[in-house]
Structure 1
């Protein structure tokens, strides 16, 4: 299994909206960055990801799972863009902020700490365990 982080502006698509989609999940569309797209192309069914509220909140608020592998993004006719579908797994009891991650020395190499602009990014198994522990998530 691989781990990821999905960033979204909560005013556009927040955790509550993701949860409301239930097991049907939602297409993670609208990504227009090649590196983020390539990360989605690498995803497998069942991979887990952090759901991260960006911009004002800057915090991990929940866990999602990949329920459909990369496919054409329905929000564009441009064949270069693909996306995955994700479904909510569970909320973080205590959201983990970007500042929390930056303050944790074991997360110094985490993509989120070093490249806050990348909307879909990999997370190592060690980073996954650390952030889950910080947020009280026991999945």
Structure 2
């Protein structure tokens, strides 16, 4: 469920059920050609649907962080995640195709899903299954 699909007056009532925030990080630098941007956005959308569709009613998808700079990206993501936790989300899931995210450090990110674009093309179903298992483990291990 996208954050803008929830009417402002419904947030308080739904808050106990919407405990997980999905934050997509596109990882664009602004130097990509339009074809690369289109491909990246489509793949990120496909990865996110692996979580959004089966877990609608529990997961809220926030607007994507599209453009990042190599310097300070980890801090920027951590600041956003801390704010999301303070706003009431129990779990924060970051989904990205940005391989540098593997180096991010954060105690507040509950699940970091970094998908290799080439592997996605070749093994999408296997990756989708793995993502679903990780999300379920996150909820059931708490």
Normalised TM-score (structure 1) = 0.30
Rg comparison, structure with higher value: 2
More strand by share: 1
More helix by share: 2
